[in-house]
Every structure is written in structure tokens, then in C-alpha cells.
Structure 1
Amino acid sequence: MVVEGAVERADVTDVVEDVEDMFDHGRRTTTATAEDAVAAVSTTSGVGRSARTLEPTVNVRARRREGEVDDRGGAEDDETDETGGTRPGRGKIFVHTFGCSHNHSDSEFMAGQLQSYGYELVKDASDADGWLVNTCTVKNPSQSAMNTVLERGKAANKALLVAGCVPQGDKGAKELKDVSLLGVTQIDRVVEAMERTLAGDTVRMLEKKTLPRLDLPKVRRNEFVEILPLSTGCLGACTYCKTKHARGDLGSYEISALVSRVEQAISEGVSEVWLSSEDTGAYGIDLGTDVAALFRAITAVLPTDGSVMLRLGMTNPPYILAHLDAVAEAMRHPAVYAWMHIPVQSGSNAVLEAMKREYTVEEFRTVCDTLLEAVPGMVIATDVICGFPGETDEQWRETMQLIEEYKFPEVHISQFYPRPGTPAARMKRVPTQIVKGRSRELTVLFESYQPHQHLVGKTERVWVSDIARDGTSLVAHTKNYTQILLPGGEDQRAHLMGRSAMVEIYESSRWSCKARVLEVIDADPTVARVRLSVIPSEEESKMIREKLTKGKRVRIKKAQEMPETGCSVCGSDSSCPSSKEPVTARYLSVETVLIAGTCIGAISLACALYARNRRN
């Protein structure tokens, strides 16, 4: 399964095998890159080493609620109280994550809060007091692997806190009985949830609320990579998708908050920023903005020496169609990888309609053709579902022809899985043997071409950001995100990790290339001269939003009010009354209303007593 110690092919059983490895070897395993890495046929980055511990940016205090176990006594340096329980903030926590990069970002935020509060993060599951399991509901194998983890945890009498898409989208699942649950928008309450779980309570924190702040403390799985969530949810209604049940409708972060997080991550030493969301192309529709403005704002704060690279996230064709010029310009930027994940799922329009994917094969081709022509060396990764209900042999041939024509360097191949509660689960299924046969057929086609052979003998610039699965080789990526393996060792790590270099490629395989280092690049002056310019006018943006959201429920958020420290009228740094403000807004507050009400009540009571005394 491991190819040259760095990358792996994942089939239906790989996720469960990773879980077995986690317990057998006492290490925390993680899925590889790509928004849907579980059960993918090819991945581009092998990960699995421990993350650097970062200084917390925010002090975290657990909320204390009625009915919660109080803090317990004991010696200051003792991790247990007199009853044998774990003291708040003094236990050992094991974190395991399934699924996409958004899930990994959530886990990093939760790990950061736990560590900031005082908990020790451990890589050995058996050594932990509590387990935080962040789950994925995209496919059956990932949820089956979650069940395996929970069974192990219950057998070992561990305190279990289950977070992520499974409890949010399927809280009634029998596997979740008697374990604590944390919803996708409740990750900023992980300390409270873990503290109460360790105390013996079973908590359910699944209420949907506003997005968690982006300035929470964080412990990255890769100290050189910042995974930045742009939004949660999407505007689609795919008939096979369970993630929609968990993440809900689109909810985007403000551009200012995202830029601030990027600047903070850069100050902490990252060399890559990955934009992550369920659909990058839909970003900002609920805020009255779009990805063009986002790309422009983020690239503007990247270091001018080219030391930090930006990787754009997964996007579905319907929404990126409206922003192809902006996306192409962004990926031509010297500090942005010329790589994008654009799922097609099927090469048949009839199947796409049954899936409710909201685009045609012709529109997908337009996206690919435009980007491949406009961006030098552009690489597109895509997804295919084999054996969607009702898919005929002829419709499957259309998918095979599409992949054969474009020869995508990355194709994530999945067999159809009926997810509970989705419309597709009620559709008549294609026989299992046919589904498996189509999956094998596409895999053979995918493995028949060598997308990196043309790089042999060439000199390329790469960015080094990881350690390979063999624990020795270094993992780097070219401008179009082709994986390059470099010689490892302690000296090489100290010399190259988090930096850029010129390399000579001498060997290629289906999954990656091998290269020798020629020189380390300290600065690239070309980045300082580049600024993105493609951004639609407000009128154009409004027309695009109306077109994309026609017939859909999208709550456009109101513009944020000016903070109390500033005035929206005169522009001063301090607050001042506005001539346009109603007098009530200027002088009335909750406190003044309460005081006035109390006074009126007291006066009324006094008058009533006086009147009664006079009658007597």
C-alpha cells in the first residue's frame, strides 16, 4: 500500500487498517491531503508525524454550568483527586481525526484549547485518560472505522468524546449511545465537554450556533501548514451527501477574520496556508462578497519573499464557473499552487441530474479547459462515484471516456455508499458486483498513464513541508503541487524543512518524483511585484450572487455594526452621538430601562399605599 515510503493508495479497507495501526503502534494516524481523502485512490501528501506545540494565543476557561461536576481538590501536582478521578485540565488526551482538511482544522483548534487549558496531548491511545474522536460521515468505511475506535475505547474504559459530522448529522446512531457528543459549531466548548466527560458525565452539545472564532489556540498536525476554514456548509443538495446534514447551509467567515488568521499563522512560522471548505467557489455569497475578493485580500498579506505558499481548496463546478478569471489569476500568482480539487463525480449528464449536482459535463469541461489553458502547468484533481443508483453501462462509459480524455493526475475513486437519510439511499441500487467491477476498471485506467514522466531531467522549484511515511524522506511540492521526495535525515530536515529549494528530478513514478537538491532559495523577489487585479464590480458581484442563489435559501448577513470604539458618522476612533441616531438609541440601554422600571414600580407602590391609608 505504501509507495516509496511517501504516498499510499487507499481502498475501502485502508481506513480500518490505519485504525489498527494506531493501536498496534501507539501512533496517531491521519488521512492524506484532498478534501475527501478517506477511501481515495490517490493522495498527494503522506502525513503522520506529531505537530509542534504552539504557544496558545488565547486563554481558555471551561464554562461551568448547573449540574456540572465541580473542580476537585488534591495536591497541585497530582493528576487525580481523592476519589480517583482526573482533575480538570490535568489529564492526558488522545486525538484522532477522520476525513477532510476542514475536520483536521477543527481538531487542531480543539487540541489547542485542550492543551492551553492544561491537558497533555499524547500520541499513544492506551496512555490517554480521554479520547477525542473527530468523525467523518462522507462514506461507510470512515464511519465503520469510527465504530472500531469507539469499540476499542469502550473496552479500555476510556472517556470518549465524539465530535464532527457523524454526531451532528446522525446523533441517534446506536454507536453513539452512552458517549459524549460535540457538534461542528461547538468546537470552542471542547474543554467543557472533555472536562465533564472525564468526570463521568455524558454530554450532548449539538445545537447549531454561529461559527467558532478563528483566533482560538491551535496545535497543528503539521507545524508548517495552516489549514484555514473559509466557511462551513454549502448551497448544494446532492442526493447522496450526508455531510450537508451535519454542516448545513453555507456560513462564511468575514474576509477580515480570515486575513488576520493568515497573518497570525505566518508570524508563527508556517510555510503553507491551505484554504478549506465544503465549496470554495461558493465562499462569501452569504456575506455579499466572493472568492475573487478573498483571494485578493489573502495574497496581499503573503510574504513578499515567496516563503509562504497558498493552496486553494475544493470547489464544485457550479460556483467556480462564475469566477474562472479570478481563480486563474490567483493560481498564476507565484505564491499560489497551480492545483485545484474539482469533483466531477460522473461523466454522464443523466447521472449528474440524478445526483442533483447542478452542472453539466459540458460546464465541467469549460472549467477544466479554461484553467488548463490559462494557468501554466495547472493540475486538476477530481472525484468519481462508481455505480450511482440507476447508472447504466452506457452512462459509465461516458465517465470512463472523460477520465481517459483528461488523464487527471489525481482521481479519487469511490464506490457508491447509501448514506442513511439521503434521497439516494432510497433509490434502486446497481448490483454490488457491477459497482466493484466499475471501480476496478477505472482504477486500471487511472494507473495506466504516467503523469510525471515529463519532469525527469528537469530543474524545478519546490517547497518542503513534510516528512514521508517512511519517517526519513522529505516531502516537497512543485508549483503545481506534484509531490517530490528528497533525501532525509536530521541535517536535511534542519536545512530544508519549511523552506524552498531548486531541485533536479531524476526519477518519476505514478505517485511522485525523486529529486536531488541543488540550492536553497532564501527569497524570491518576483512575489513582491504581483498583485491580483481581477475583481468584479459590486453590480457584477450582485448579478453573480443572484444567479447562483436563484431558488435557494441563502441568508445574507447584515453588515457588521461599528465597534463601540469608533464612530460610523465622523470616522473618529472614539464613540460619539450621531445626528442621525434616534434619541432612544443614544440614551436608552438595558440598564437604564431596568432602573427606570424599578423607580416607576416603587413610586406606584408608594402611591397605592398612600391612597389606601387615606381611605382608612
Structure 2
Amino acid sequence: MARYHIETYGCTSNRGESREIEKRLRDAGHHKVDGPKAADVSILNTCTVVEKTERNMLRRAEELSEETADLFVTGCMALAQGEQFQEADVDAQVLHWDEVPEAVTNGECPTTTPDAEPILDGVIGILPIARGCMSNCSYCITKQATGRVDSPPVEENVEKARALVHAGAKEIRITGQDTGVYGWDNGERKLPELLDRICTEIEGDFRVRVGMANPGGVHGIREELAGVFAEHDEIYNFLHAPVQSGSDDVLEDMRRQHRVEQYLDIVETFDDYLGEWTLSTDFIVGFPTEEPADHEMSMALLRETRPEKINVTRFSKRPGTDAADMKGLGGQVKKDRSSEMTDAKMEVVGEAYESMVGTERDVLVTEHGTGDSVKCYDGAYRQIIVQNASEHDLEPGDFATVEVTGHSTVYAFADPV
């Protein structure tokens, strides 16, 4: 769990994005602190109205980079003129705002409170299906807070999902520290059964998104899980399986419960079962034992499997973890490796969204965006923005068919058909 400091400059839209960042960070168990010196990470949400503002943003970024271990820069200037931070030699990761929460996690599992209950946020229903995990990663402090997985019965989670749908949820987000090990504490692997029962026993028009599932848990159920995805249109064809490294040696030092071959098995299985799907994964760059050759293996794995959503995180020590006692790599090494992987990520993701242009997609509108726009997701959980939504009478909760007209690397633009 990280301690974070966030600063927001500019318009109401920026403030709204910062509120969303904070909400997701809190949901993941992170804690806000007063000032960057007390923080593990700082977040700077920037504005770029005039040249003076830009100079102020660069100066503040330089100050924050010296006062905190990791700095994430987002907002208008970051997206429009992100190269200026690099040219000014600011030690920061420049990200779109909705990439910030997952980057902050440092590869750790999300953390829910002991009494986590379903939450309805607009038309999005958040369903924590279990607490804890079966892993013991050397870099992760979350396990100290959550312990081993504790899985409520399938029937209980189905009823919670039904209540969310009856309350107005159009998208159910299945969450947990590691959804793939749901049921393991009772000697059974229950995620496929839970998904199947939600889709067959609950009446209504809704979609289901499966949250983070570590490859070690998914590997043993990959055929059954991919089969459930293929059988039910309600389930987004989307899998978040964080590989963290392309090197088996580094994975062993991280104490991850999978190896690269198992991750590739999962990708191959989902390729076999699903015509179109989105692979989401995470990489930690600059782990203390990561040699140049290990980093190259991670780069090769990224290019081989071409995930359409990739979270790149520079390793940061968490107090009380075994990895905190390891001799770390230099900040410049981590920065360089992160930059190289982020460049490759943007290339891969951009190609994926470019390939969508000109196609028609059935989407669910999930929330309002900036100005008169709405955010939608297609069957593979790719984000699509429809502008001038009021002209098309589109509101969160609506289903629509759209034609993709363009993209902005990490999301697409479309018009209703």
C-alpha cells in the first residue's frame, strides 16, 4: 500500500479527474498524506493555458521529483507537451489520468477493507468476491494487510450481483486481490462457476468485467475460464493477468507463482477460445535483481504477446517487504528501462486502437466523460468515446452500436450508427 500526495491545477475537468484518481487509490488501499515528503508517490495533475503556466508546471514537477520517491505527471500539459518534462530532465512518468491509479500500485494486489461490500457507482456495480490472496510476492506489502484468500460461497456472491443489477447496475466489476484464486481456500477453483451462474441466473441486460487475476491462479483453470468467456456475451472478453517480468529468474526472485511459459499458455488458450479479446498485463521494471538481459526478455515478451492494456511500474521499495532489503538499481536505470517499455507500450496499444477505425462496435455507455461526451466499452473492454452525446440521447446505462472514426492511442472515438 502506498502513501500518496496529489496536486491539481487548472479547470474543473482536471479536478474531476483527480477525484477519480483518488477514489481508485482509496479503493486499492492506498493512503493520502500531507505533503510530498511523507509520500511514497506524488501525482501532479497539470494545466497548460499559457507559457507562464507551463513554466510553473515544470518547476513544480522538478520540486516534487526531488521530494518524493516516484512522481506521476498527468493532465493537459502532460498529454499535450509531455516531452517537455523529459527535456527538462524531470524524473517522472507521464501518463493519461486513468493510468495513474494502477501505476501507483507498484505491481501490488489491490486491497479491500475487511468488510468490503458491493458498491453501486452510477451504472457500475463493484463486487468484491473475496479478500486476500494465495501469493507471497517479495515486493508486496498488501499480503500483510489481507492475509490468505477468504472466499464467501458462490451463492452469496451471486445474490450480491443480483442485488446490484436490480439496483440499476449495467456493468458488474468482479474485484479482489486475486480473482483467479477465488475458492482456493475451500479446496476448489470457483471463478468459472461464479461467472457462469451470474450470467445464467440473473435476469437483465448487463456486462461483467473480471478484475485482476494472477497467472499462477488462472493457469490451472484457463480452459474452463476461457470457455465461460466464450459462452456468455455478458462477460467482457478482457483478462488482466499481470506477468510482471519476462524473465523466470526475476519472477523467482519476486516469488511470483508463475513462470513465463505458464503466462504464454494462458494467452494461447484465450486466443484459441475467443475471436477478439483484450489482454491486460503489468510489468515491474528495475526490480533489484533485474539484469539488462532480464529487461530485454520483458521487452521481447511485450512485443510477442502485444497486450492492449499495459501498466508499466518502476520498482519502489515497500517497508517491511523482503525486496526492501535488496540492493536496488539506480534511479536512472529504472527511468531508462521504464521509458523504453512505455514507448513500446504506446506503439502496441496505438496499433490496437488504430485497427478499430472503420469498424462497427456494440458498446455499453458507462459514464459521462469530459464536456458533452460519454465513455463506452465494447465487447473486448476497449474504451470508446462518443462526443456530442446529448445530440444522440446517450446516457450511462445505454447500449448502442457505434462506428469507430479515430483514436488517441489509449482510446477510440466513435459516432452512433
Which TM bucket (shorter chain)? 0.7 to 0.9
Counterpart residue identity of residue 203, structure 2: P
The equivalent position to 1:97 in structure 2, one of 1, 15, 23, is 23
CA gap of 1:315–1:24, structure 2 versus 1, over 3 A, is: closer
Q: 1:292 and 2:174 equivalent?
A: no
Q: For the Cα contact (< 8 Å) 2:131–2:146, is it kept in 1? A: yes
The equivalent position to 2:403 in structure 1, one of 478, 498, 504, is 504
Structure 1 residues 421-458: Cα deviation after superposition (integer angstroms, max 9, x where no partner): 00000011111111111001111111223212221111
Counterpart residue identity of residue 342, structure 1: A
* Counterpart residue number, 1:160: none
- Fraction of identical pairs, as percent: 27
Counterpart residue identity of residue 288, structure 2: P
Unaligned runs of 5+ in 1: 1-11, 33-95, 105-131, 149-182, 186-210, 519-616
Mapping of 1:355-434 within 5 angstroms? 355-434=254-333
Tell me, in whole angstroms, the C-alpha distance in 2 between the residues paired with 1:28 and 1:349: 37
The equivalent position to 2:384 in structure 1, one of 473, 479, 484, is 484
Cα deviation for residue 242 of structure 1 reads 1.0
Counterpart residue identity of residue 381, structure 1: S
Q: For the Cα contact (< 8 Å) 2:6–2:44, is it kept in 1? A: no
Q: For the Cα contact (< 8 Å) 1:97–1:103, is it kept in 2? A: no
Q: 1:267 and 2:170 equivalent?
A: no
SS of the residue 2:401 aligns to: strand
SS of the residue 1:455 aligns to: coil
The equivalent position to 2:207 in structure 1, one of 291, 309, 314, is 309
The equivalent position to 1:454 in structure 2, one of 355, 371, 376, is 355
Q: For the Cα contact (< 8 Å) 1:102–1:277, is it kept in 2? A: no
Tell me, in whole angstroms, the C-alpha distance in 2 between the residues paired with 1:311 and 1:101: 17
* Counterpart residue number, 1:347: 246
Q: 1:212 and 2:108 equivalent?
A: no
Counterpart residue identity of residue 292, structure 1: P
Q: Higher relative contact order at CA 8 Å, sep ≥6: structure 1 or structure 2?
A: 1
Tell me, in whole angstroms, the C-alpha distance in 2 between the residues paired with 1:409 and 1:213: 30
Tell me, in whole angstroms, the C-alpha distance in 1 between the residues paired with 2:134 and 2:214: 10
Q: Larger helix proportion, structure 1 or 2?
A: 2
CA gap of 1:184–1:296, structure 2 versus 1, over 3 A, is: closer
Cα deviation for residue 213 of structure 1 reads 7.0
CA gap of 1:327–1:426, structure 2 versus 1, over 3 A, is: same
Counterpart residue identity of residue 481, structure 1: Y
Structure 1 residues 405-433: Cα deviation after superposition (integer angstroms, max 9, x where no partner): 12211110000000000000001111111
Q: For the Cα contact (< 8 Å) 2:8–2:15, is it kept in 1? A: no
Counterpart residue identity of residue 249, structure 1: R
CA gap of 1:329–1:142, structure 2 versus 1, over 3 A, is: farther
Tell me, in whole angstroms, the C-alpha distance in 2 between the residues paired with 1:276 and 1:484: 22
Cα deviation for residue 245 of structure 1 reads 1.2
Tell me, in whole angstroms, the C-alpha distance in 1 between the residues paired with 2:375 and 2:13: 25
Tell me, in whole angstroms, the C-alpha distance in 2 between the residues paired with 1:453 and 1:401: 22
SS of the residue 1:212 aligns to: coil
Q: For the Cα contact (< 8 Å) 1:309–1:336, is it kept in 2? A: yes
Cα deviation for residue 373 of structure 1 reads 2.1
* Counterpart residue number, 2:86: none
TM-score for the superposition, normalised by structure 2 = 0.75
* Counterpart residue number, 1:29: 18
Tell me, in whole angstroms, the C-alpha distance in 1 between the residues paired with 2:117 and 2:324: 36
Q: For the Cα contact (< 8 Å) 2:364–2:398, is it kept in 1? A: yes
CA gap of 1:491–1:296, structure 2 versus 1, over 3 A, is: same
SS of the residue 1:29 aligns to: helix
Q: Larger strand proportion, structure 1 or 2?
A: 2
Cα deviation for residue 495 of structure 1 reads 3.8
Q: For the Cα contact (< 8 Å) 2:386–2:415, is it kept in 1? A: yes
SS of the residue 1:447 aligns to: helix
Q: For the Cα contact (< 8 Å) 2:8–2:44, is it kept in 1? A: no
Structure 1 residues 164-207: Cα deviation after superposition (integer angstroms, max 9, x where no partner): xxxxxxxxxxxxxxxxxxx964xxxxxxxxxxxxxxxxxxxxxx
CA gap of 1:472–1:411, structure 2 versus 1, over 3 A, is: same
TM-score for the superposition, normalised by structure 1 = 0.52
Q: 1:331 and 2:331 equivalent?
A: no
Mapping of 1:94-243 within 5 angstroms? 97-99=23-25, 140-141=40-41, 185=113, 211-212=114-115, 214=117, 218=119, 220=120, 222-243=121-142
Q: For the Cα contact (< 8 Å) 2:161–2:172, is it kept in 1? A: yes
Counterpart residue identity of residue 441, structure 1: E
Structure 1 residues 3-31: Cα deviation after superposition (integer angstroms, max 9, x where no partner): xxxxxxxxx9xx74555679998758345
Counterpart residue identity of residue 327, structure 1: L
Q: For the Cα contact (< 8 Å) 1:101–1:227, is it kept in 2? A: no
Cα deviation for residue 472 of structure 1 reads 2.3
Q: For the Cα contact (< 8 Å) 2:5–2:32, is it kept in 1? A: no
CA gap of 1:259–1:504, structure 2 versus 1, over 3 A, is: same
Tell me, in whole angstroms, the C-alpha distance in 2 between the residues paired with 1:495 and 1:240: 44
Counterpart residue identity of residue 324, structure 1: R
CA gap of 1:266–1:18, structure 2 versus 1, over 3 A, is: farther
Cα deviation for residue 388 of structure 1 reads 0.2
SS of the residue 2:288 aligns to: coil
Counterpart residue identity of residue 146, structure 2: R
SS of the residue 1:99 aligns to: helix
Matched length:
344
* Counterpart residue number, 2:73: none
CA gap of 1:262–1:184, structure 2 versus 1, over 3 A, is: closer
CA gap of 1:325–1:101, structure 2 versus 1, over 3 A, is: farther
Q: For the Cα contact (< 8 Å) 2:365–2:394, is it kept in 1? A: no
Tell me, in whole angstroms, the C-alpha distance in 1 between the residues paired with 2:42 and 2:175: 20
Q: For the Cα contact (< 8 Å) 2:124–2:173, is it kept in 1? A: yes
Q: Which has the larger radius of gyration?
A: 1
CA gap of 1:214–1:24, structure 2 versus 1, over 3 A, is: closer
Cα deviation for residue 487 of structure 1 reads 2.1
Counterpart residue identity of residue 377, structure 2: H
Tell me, in whole angstroms, the C-alpha distance in 2 between the residues paired with 1:257 and 1:488: 41
Tell me, in whole angstroms, the C-alpha distance in 2 between the residues paired with 1:326 and 1:410: 23
CA gap of 1:397–1:31, structure 2 versus 1, over 3 A, is: farther
Q: For the Cα contact (< 8 Å) 2:374–2:394, is it kept in 1? A: no
Tell me, in whole angstroms, the C-alpha distance in 2 between the residues paired with 1:18 and 1:265: 34
Mapping of 1:494-573 within 5 angstroms? 495-518=394-417
* Counterpart residue number, 1:91: none
Counterpart residue identity of residue 483, structure 1: Q
Tell me, in whole angstroms, the C-alpha distance in 1 between the residues paired with 2:409 and 2:268: 23
Counterpart residue identity of residue 244, structure 1: K
Counterpart residue identity of residue 358, structure 2: G
